[in-house]
A and B are shown apart, each in its own frame.
Chain A
Amino acid sequence: MSNVFIVFQDNDDSRPIIEAILADNAQAQATYPTGLVKIDAPGSLVVRRETIEELIGRPFDLQQIHVNLVTISGHIDEDDDQLSLKWNN
């Protein structure tokens, strides 16, 4: 199965997002190239607003991730509650 990935700048804003992704995607793996956090997952990956909000204890607009997003692979779908990445193969 193909991996999807999502990469963020490694900073304080990204930390709860990374934590949420790792909590919601059991097979996701994080690596730390200099300055970055890269999360790979087989087939698909989801970023859930609710999980992030629980971690930070305040409302979070998912589009906020654009500020620290570096790159992605896979097909994207985004709404108010989640952003998902997946390959159709």
Chain B
Amino acid sequence: MDTPVLKKKLGLKERYAAMTRGLHWDTTYQPMDKVFPYDKYEGIKIHDWDKWEDPFRLTMDAYWKYQGEKEKKLYAVIDAFAQNNGQLGVTDARYINALKVFLTGVTPLEYNAHRLFAHVGRQFTGTGARVACQMQSIDELRHYQTETHALSHYNKYFNGMHSPKHMNDRVWYLSVPKSYFEDACTSGPFEFLTAVSFSFEYLLTNLLFVPFMSGAAHNGDMSTVTFGFSAQSDESRHMTLGIECLKFMLEQDPDNVPIVQGWIDKWFWRGYRLLSIVAMMQDYMLPKRVMSWREGWEMYIEQNGESLFRDLARYGIRKPKGWVQACEGKNHISHQTYAVFYSYGAAAAFHTWVPEEEEMAWLSEKYPETFEKYYLPRWNYWREQAKNGNRFYQKTLPMLCQTCQIPMIFTEPGDATKIAYRESDYQGDKYHFCSDHCKEIFDNEPEKYVQAWLPVHQIYQGNCFKPGVDPTKEGFDPLLAVFDYYNFKVGRDNLDFEGSEDQKNFAAWRGDSVQGAKK
């Protein structure tokens, strides 16, 4: 048979229409509402799914092509990094602890995001939304895998990276990111997209993947910066899904506006709280600093967010309720969060340390109004204590916020010397919160948040020991039993960086004295 004459190729817009909208049909054996039962109960009214826009107009064939290119580039770097003992080239071994937080706190979220986008990629009635969610589902699985592959090299040399998934399901501080995603996945599909695609990806994710990955580059970690930017190259599409979904809901029906505003208020605050740990990594865990948390916040949230919300004002959307407080927090949350991890350093699977002299000077310069006034004196005190052999470790369990699950560490708006406590009564029980906004989120859906799996409560209820452990046995140490359940290797994964196996090994591998290994 003769080869048929090739027709002129379709343009991008026609190709997108054919390969996306053209794949849709209205069901006839069953009513559409029964085939797509989940996208109506939240109260979002959609009149015309054809109005859904995907401005990148990426079709599945192009998607596979470009993703394949990204993978080839990435794996060439990961291989080169491993073959050349790249782990020895990072600034100092303290840096690896930021990767431990990333691997246990962020990487499992990618897997959850993969599951959730696969779910909503099935459930939307509109095919444009379904295809975008299906692509994102595959992206998220790719991120989970590439992060795991890249970081597994460090696991060969450093402690605390041996069971990220196991830890993510159990460890107290990891319940913060885990609960964010579980909260999103138990919402309806439109709220899920507002939570993950808009609030997290569009508004906040730049702060994780842009300055932090620049920081990885600055600290000589070729492997992390490469998987970071490779993942981030998908984020532009994810961010676009977030903003387009938001505009679509707002344009379809005015009744959608108050529902969407409520979700923006809720998920901005949930996401802001979740990023406290990124703030700490940015300001305290990168030995060579690139940009303070505050500078990143101003560049990516304040300036960019102002533009965005000025734009959304024409739909009747205002800035999230917690905006002012979150902007005030830019001067505080990294210091408050790292101080908690320092004091709970026995109960974390990564090392902490007192910042060095020049690092304190950097923090003073970057936080002129707050660091010396509120946070430096405490570091000086702790450093003095450590020098005298009294490295401070908290031995009691903290009270947690029922909504964000972070210990009660954040201070009152306008008063950084006073911890904020809020409470609500619900069906005869008292619930505690770190802020007005977390309290309001609970008050709007108490029946959901009373079910929260709070690690401290679970420990006290005896649910965080391995099967067969007998707490009544003589000499039983509950905390050691909890660490065993977490799969922490006590004395290797936890405690101060000073004196750790990581510190000694890194110095030996590099041929430095232990003293010299810390720059």
Write the residues of chain A forming the contact surface with B, with a CB cutoff of 8 angstroms: 2-5, 7, 9, 33-36, 63-64, 66-80, 87-89
B211 on the A face (CB < 8 A): yes
Contact: A35 with B236, CB < 8 Å?
Answer: no
Task: Give chain B interface residues in 195-233, CB to chain A under 8 Å.
Answer: 206, 209-211, 213-215, 217-218, 225, 229, 232-233
Chain B residue, CB-CB nearest to A36? B214
Most buried by A among B11, B12, B290: B12
Interface residues of B in 298-333 (CB under 8 A from A): 303-304, 306-308, 310-311, 313-314
Let me know if B229 and A70 touch, CB within 8 A: yes
What chain A residues lie within 8 Å of B70 (beta carbons)?
67
A66 to B73, CA, bound (A): 13
Complex interface: chain B residues within 8 A of A74 (CB)? 307
A67 touches B69 (CB 8 A): yes
Count of CB-CB pairs between chains A and B under 8 Å: 95
User: Contacts A66-B236, A67-B70, A71-B239 hold; do A35 and B307 have CB atoms under 8 A apart?
Assistant: no
Which residues of chain B are near A76, meaning CB under 8 Å? Answer: 55-56, 240
Q: Is B237 an interface residue (CB 8 A)?
A: yes
Q: A66-B233, A71-B236 are in contact. Are A77 and B214 (CB under 8 A)?
A: no
Q: B228-267 vs A: 1/0 string, CB under 8 Å?
A: 0100110111011001000000000000000000000000
A34: which B residues are within 8 A, CB to CB?
214-215, 217-218, 290
B58 at the interface (CB under 8 A from A): yes
Establish whether residues B11 and A79, one from each chain, have CB atoms under 8 Å apart when the complex forms: yes
The 8 Å CB contact of A89, one of B57, B210, B310, is B310
B11→A72 contact, CB < 8 A: no
How far is A2 from B56 in the complex, measured between Cα atoms in Å?
22
The residues of B that contact A77 with a CB separation of less than 8 Å are 55
- Residues of B near A2 (CB, < 8 A) are 306-307, 310-311
CB distance from A63 to the nearest CB of B (A): 6
Closest 8 CB pairs of A and B: A2-B307, A35-B217, A76-B55, A34-B214, A89-B310, A34-B217, A80-B12, A34-B218
Measured between alpha carbons, how far is A75 from B56 in the docked complex, in Å? 11
For chain B, the count of residues having a C-beta within 8 Å of the partner chain is 42
Residues of A within 8 A of B232 (CB): 70-71
Chain B residues with CB below 8 A from A87, complex form = 307, 310-311
Chain A residues whose CB sits within 8 angstroms of the CB of B215 once the complex forms:
34
A1 CB → nearest B CB, Å: 9
With both chains docked as a complex, state the minimum distance between the C-beta of B220 and any C-beta of chain A, in angstroms.
11
Which A residues are in CB contact (< 8 Å) with B12?
63, 78-80
Q: Contact between B213 and A73 (Cβ–Cβ < 8 Å)?
A: no
Instruction: Give Cα distance in the complex from A63 to B66, angstroms.
Output: 8
Task: Pick the residue among B56, B69, B290, B291 that contacts A78 (CB under 8 A).
Answer: B56
Given A33-B290, A63-B58, also A71-B11 (CB < 8 A): no
Q: Which residues of A contact B213 (CB under 8 A)?
A: 35
Task: Looking at the assembled complex, report how far the CB atom of A69 sits from the nearest CB atom of chain B, in whole angstroms.
Answer: 5
B69: chain A residues within 8 A (beta carbon): 67
Q: Are A73 and B210 in contact (CB under 8 A)?
A: no
Which chain B residues lie closer than 8 Å to A88 at the CB level?
Answer: 311, 314
Asked whether B214 lies within 8 Å of A67 as measured between CB atoms, the reply is no
- With CB as the reference atom, state the residue of chain A lying closest to B217: A35
The answer on a CB contact under 8 Å between A78 and B57 is yes
Q: Are B58 and A70 in contact (CB under 8 A)?
A: no
| Contact between chains at A33 and B55 (CB < 8 Å) | no
B307/A73 in contact, CB under 8 A: yes
User: A19 CA to B5 CA in the complex, in Å?
Assistant: 38
Flag whether B23 is at the interface (Cβ < 8 A): no
Q: Check B11–A80 contact: CB distance below 8 A.
A: yes
Which residues of A have CB within 8 Å of B308? 73
Tell me whether A71 and B307 are in contact (CB under 8 A).
Answer: no
| B13 interface residue per 8 A CB criterion | yes
- Check if B235 sits within 8 Å of A71, measured CB to CB: yes
Q: What are 25 contact pairs spanning A and B, CB under 8 A?
A: A2-B306, A3-B303, A5-B304, A33-B291, A34-B290, A35-B213, A36-B210, A63-B66, A66-B58, A66-B66, A66-B236, A67-B70, A69-B233, A69-B236, A71-B206, A71-B232, A72-B240, A73-B304, A75-B311, A79-B12, A79-B13, A87-B310, A88-B311, A89-B310, A89-B313
